[in-house]
Structure 1
Amino acid sequence: MFCPSWSEDSLTVVLEQDGVLAVSARARAAGVREGMRRGGALLMAPDAQLRERAPPLEAEALHAVAMALLRYTPLVAQAEEDTLLIDVGASLRLFGGARALCRLARASMRALGFTAVLGCAPTARGAWLLARGGGGRSLTIDGMTRRLRRLPAGLLPPARPFLGWLDGIGCFTLAELRRLPRPGLQRRCGRALLDMLDAAHGEAPEMFDWITAPPGFKAKLELFDRVEHADALLFGAQRLLQQMTGWLCARQFAVERVSLLLEHERGRVARAPTQIEIVLAEATWRDEHLLRLLKERLGKIELAAPVIGLSLEALRVRPMTPPSDSLFPEPGGSKEDRERLFELLVARLGADNVLQAAPQADYRPDLANAWVPVHEKVRPAEQRARMPPRSLPRPVWLLPKPVALLMRDHRPFYTSPLRMVSNAERIEAGWWSEAQTRDYFIAEGADHAHYWVFRERLGAEDAPRWYLHGLFG
């Protein structure tokens, strides 16, 4: 069961046909009570804000709540007295149990601007009665029966026309109502009362018309006041995002492009709505990332006119991709899997930290490769055509700068004397910019590790100089 939330300092009274229907905590402290007339409420709280009940707005709010709850289960139904029933039997393990699921539902209601009275029971009607009785949670039939037996009989809508008769015979609770003779109770109160009692206690089947998510999503929200600062619109945008998240989960969609319209005042000075469009590199069905993006966009917008309403629309969606437990795609995955991995890495590490190799047409090892951002296009066919022919293997790990080696007993030394195990690969290039004349060898150390070293070709009178340039795996 759901009702509008009050702020702690509000002094608000809701009226229906000139009678008080609901009051805020501050109005109750001032002495205003449900059932009072308008004049009595104003006498107790002259500064109270009086608001007439608006059934169309209540229906819109109930629909918004139903859309948000679709993120927890696709089975949501509307019941009597503006309540919602959700079947979470298949969702308990996914969300960590009934207690955790109730916390998530309450958090969703707070994000929508509502408070929630929750009832959780093995039967839908039992949960409805627990919610109407102030809330409670029972996961077994026996535990639910013990809780229900203490509730007043007047909670059942079919029993309310007969409360005078029930009070006269001393029947005040559901337990006492169940002990009455069923034939006489049916003749006096009708079959609907017995059907509801049986359904609540799991003794009769329950049938509901589940709410179906529409094929597309577009939701509107009218603001209670004119908003002149864009960053103050974030709470309203969050309410719309909650609904869109539920719709995406129900339809098994992920959104790639959304549009938020800021509607301005109408009339003689009417202005076209201000549009905020967000295009995502990776489709999502969660609202946390979208909320952060909207917060950044709203913080940079200067409103040309006050905003009186918001409208959110999912412009482009695609089927939801099931989440993977691993960061990297499975072997044999598609190109889309790899693209999603790259987008995720770029989003986490930054575009400058996720690079790809782009081989260059140069014989010099230092300049034979360049690293470019992963999103830049590199044509592999032309790379292979420009690559110089190789006669000897090249190391996977090339040092950023060659390291000069010591000489011991006329042999290069790197943690141990190095022994050449390959023929020389001569490289002479770069006469136009940075000339290199080197002889490269594969060397082996005492620990049998292999290194890529080169000897600079100098004049006959100069001693040779050796450098370490790469490491083999």
Structure 2
Amino acid sequence: MRISGVNTLCPQAVLTEYDEHLHQSAIQAASLALLQYTPELALGERDTLLLDVTASLRLFGGIRRLYRRIQGTLHGLCLSAGYAIAATAGGAWLLATAAYIRLRRCLKPHTQVRRLDVLPVGSLPAVLPYETWLSSIGCATLGALRQLPRAGLQRRTSRQVLQVLDAAYGNTPEIFKWIVAPLQFQGRIELVERIEYTEAVARVAGRLIQQLCGWLTAHQRAVTQLVLLLEHERGRHAREPSQVELATAIPTRDPAHLMRLLQEHLHHLKLVAPVIAVTLDVARVQEAAPVADDLFPEPGGTPQDRERVLEIILARLGHDRVWAPQPVADHRPEVANRWGPANTAFVAAPVVEGVTRPCWLLEKPLLLSVRKHRPWYGSPLHIVQGPERIEDGWWEGAALRDYFVAEDTSGVRYWLFRERYTQWRWFLHGIFG
């Protein structure tokens, strides 16, 4: 239609010029992102993406959960699409392109046949040259087309009509050319308008992360370090691109985790200038470990889950504010109890077995008062375990102590010690959680 006719029928319509490059970029982005669900992905008629998810149903928890995840992925790419599920790729394509069909999910073969029979013959592109002749003989639906004599139909149309029709109904096998992911990942989005807020940057970067996870899945790899480049003005007012580095403790290709980690980093970022383009570079990747499928999953989550939580905490609070225990092989508690940055790799010291240690140590032992021959700390403390003798550090001031576990009247437990040369003095050194 002409622009004047469109404005007359729909005054609120927004008209944009068709861009073939933008259209092909959207198809490529969707193809790359959907590779995280199945390697058997093909491009069909009218730029339709066909996915064979037979081998992926168990991994993603069934067809309905997989259907919702694919919807979420395309929504994250800022794309709207028509969906259909069927036993054959041709049947799913016909249902997806038929806009007036309310139910596009046909999981049973007989349901699919019933839905396809009511579609008009013009739904098949191979039938369009013969649509006028078919209408003149009263053949208006695919069900009626199937009732015609096959020999006469092939003689008056073409062999391709029967081949496409049989493939849609599952009577002949379908052969596709699967989409192959490129060897190198190159993610860049040129923005139509300048962006001045990190929330908008996160949405654009999320599109690149979805494509990256599809590329990683296709090559059976996982990422440990990403670099997000935010390009600013060019020309006389050119600025260096802003750089956001994402590092993960363990290799991952989970888009939800990478997106949450990115949002935490962008939350602390201040844009020095408007953003005109976003680029995502893969700094370090490695082979992905196989998915664990234990009969009895570990309670409290896997070690990978705990590492992901730690990564989010580090991104939110900063690396200088999160510390982790890094004990030293020494019998003296004040020496063995060392802390360091949580993101620093260290070799754990051997754990002393058969002894009880508290979670918190005082920076300096506290001298306790004694009442009726019992140590006192708000209330009388009763010894429940001990003594444990520690003799160490003779080269820098020997530590000669006897440690005890004591309990007050409310049930709180403390770690006390007495120095061997002053048996009458009690010191509080730690508190149990």
1:47-66 counterparts in 2 under 5 A? Answer: 48-66=13-31
Equivalent position SS for 1:308: strand
1:250-265 counterparts in 2 under 5 A? Answer: 250-265=218-233
Does residue 397 of the first structure (1) align with residue 384 of the second (2)?
Answer: no
Distance 1:194 1:425, change over 3 A: closer
CA–CA distance in structure 2, aligned partners of residues 198 and 379 of structure 1: 64
1:321 to 273, 289, 292: 289
- In our comparison, the structure showing a higher alpha carbon Rg is 1
Report the number of matched residues. 395
Q: Which amino acid aligns with 1:358?
A: V
Contact 1:158 1:189 in 2 (8 A): no
CA–CA distance in structure 2, aligned partners of residues 428 and 256 of structure 1: 42
Deviation at 1:242, TM superposition (A): 1.0
Identity between Structure 1 and Structure 2 (%): 39
Moved more, 135-144 or 199-208: 135-144
Deviation at 1:304, TM superposition (A): 4.1
CA–CA distance in structure 2, aligned partners of residues 102 and 47 of structure 1: 33
Deviations 1:112-131 (Å, cap 9, x if unpaired)?
11112111111111111111
2:5 to 21, 28, 40: 40
CA–CA distance in structure 2, aligned partners of residues 295 and 379 of structure 1: 31
1:151 to 93, 97, 119: 119
Deviations 1:29-68 (Å, cap 9, x if unpaired)?
xxxxxxx222212344556432122222111101111111
CA–CA distance in structure 1, aligned partners of residues 10 and 143 of structure 2: 41
Give the match for residue 171 of structure 1: 139
Q: Which amino acid aligns with 2:53?
A: V
Contact 2:117 2:141 in 1 (8 A): yes
Deviations 1:251-281 (Å, cap 9, x if unpaired)?
1111122222223344554444333332333
Superposition CA RMSD, Å: 4.2
Does residue 280 of the first structure (1) align with residue 248 of the second (2)?
Answer: yes
CA–CA distance in structure 2, aligned partners of residues 124 and 198 of structure 1: 12
Does residue 180 of the first structure (1) align with residue 148 of the second (2)?
Answer: yes
Distance 1:47 1:145, change over 3 A: closer
Distance 1:327 1:356, change over 3 A: farther
Q: Which runs of 5+ in 2 are unaligned?
A: 315-320, 375-380, 406-414
Distance 1:276 1:354, change over 3 A: closer
Give the match for residue 105 of structure 1: 70
Q: Which amino acid aligns with 2:222?
A: A
1:183-262 counterparts in 2 under 5 A? Answer: 183-262=151-230
Distance 1:138 1:47, change over 3 A: closer
CA–CA distance in structure 2, aligned partners of residues 116 and 65 of structure 1: 10
CA–CA distance in structure 2, aligned partners of residues 126 and 98 of structure 1: 17
CA–CA distance in structure 2, aligned partners of residues 50 and 99 of structure 1: 35
2:329 to 356, 359, 379: 359
Give the match for residue 6 of structure 1: none
TM-score normalised over the length of structure 1:
0.70
Give the match for residue 31 of structure 1: none
Deviation at 1:359, TM superposition (A): 3.3
CA–CA distance in structure 2, aligned partners of residues 287 and 319 of structure 1: 17
Deviations 1:304-356 (Å, cap 9, x if unpaired)?
4432222222222111123445569xxxxxxxx99x79855744777856413
TM-score normalised over the length of structure 2:
0.76
Structure with the bigger RCO (C-alpha within 8 Å, sep 6+) is 2
CA–CA distance in structure 2, aligned partners of residues 229 and 457 of structure 1: 66
